């Protein structure tokens, strides 16, 4: 229930939402609505309920009328080459292209999903190579995420994409013992700052960026 002038801009006078709004609802209709509600009538106006003063009823229930459209391509390739009797070189590459959009209500414009802030970018790719034998392995991987658009304000802003490098080395020491050194995001690539309305909000796109930055680790494993 909304106690609001029908002349105010928004849901009440927007023709797109006409099917969701009942102006000047009859008292009998309101009684039926309240009787079917889980919590009944919840009056937070501070005044006694008067059906004659109800300007409009807005049906804000969840409904399966929104439409989303997705299309994309995933590509992955791998090539292994033997370098001698026990040494191998492996090349891996993968890429994803995604395009998606949604329409919340019939009559509303179709808006982009992929390529906008807090959603996957249109393009992502990862490729690398690994050199290994019985005693050691060395791996290097390059990761790329395309730019996205911050469309939360009237003037849209393009947020830069990111490219990071990951390195890993493993050495086997005798039977059952292995030492691994790993460096994630070697060049300490950082996400681009974004506009926030609260000091408690993360100042970057948390879907496509990370606050960790460069991360170094050492792992020792022994099997009995």
Q: What is the pLDDT of residues 53-111, one digit of tens each?
A: 899 998 888 888 889 999 999 999 999 999 988 899 999 999 999 999 999 888 788 99
Tokens of 187: 């060049």
| Residue for token pair 């026990």 | 86
Residue 202: the pLDDT is 93
Residue 189: the pLDDT is 95
**Polymer length in residues for the chain:** 224
CB 31 within 8 A of CB 57: no
Residue 46: the pLDDT is 85
Residue 7: the pLDDT is 44
Q: Which residues contact 193 (CB under 8 A, 6 or more apart)?
A: 203, 204
Mean pLDDT of the chain: 90
Count of C-beta atoms within a 10 Å radius of residue 205: 20
Give the closest residue to 147 by CA, choosing from 113, 192, 183: 192
- Pick out the chain residues at pLDDT < 70: 1-9
Residue 175: the pLDDT is 81
Residue 79: the pLDDT is 97
Instruction: Tabulate helix, strand, coil % of the chain (nearest 5).
Output: 10, 40, 50
The answer to whether the pTM exceeds 0.85 is: no
């Amino acid at each position: 229930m909304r106690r609001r002038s029908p002349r105010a801009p928004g849901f009440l006078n927007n023709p797109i939402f006409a099917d969701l709004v009942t102006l000047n609802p009859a008292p009998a209709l309101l009684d039926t609505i309240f009787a079917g509600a889980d919590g009944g009538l919840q009056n937070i106006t501070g005044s006694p309920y008067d059906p004659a003063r109800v300007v409009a009823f807005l049906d804000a229930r969840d409904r399966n009328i929104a439409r989303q459209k997705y299309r994309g391509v995933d590509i992955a390739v791998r090539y292994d080459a033997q370098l001698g009797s026990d040494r191998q070189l492996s090349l891996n590459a993968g890429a994803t292209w995604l395009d998606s959009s949604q329409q919340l209500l019939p009559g509303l414009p179709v808006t982009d999903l992929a390529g906008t802030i807090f959603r996957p970018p249109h393009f992502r790719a990862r490729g690398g190579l690994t050199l290994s034998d019985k005693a050691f392995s060395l791996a290097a991987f390059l990761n790329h995420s395309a730019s996205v658009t911050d469309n939360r304000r009237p003037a849209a802003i393009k947020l830069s994409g990111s490219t990071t490098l990951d390195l890993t080395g493993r050495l086997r020491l005798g039977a059952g013992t292995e030492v691994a050194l790993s460096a994630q995001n070697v060049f300490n690539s950082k996400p681009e700052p974004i506009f926030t309305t609260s000091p408690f909000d993360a100042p970057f796109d948390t879907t496509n960026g990370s606050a960790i930055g460069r991360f170094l680790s050492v792992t020792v494993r022994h099997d009995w």
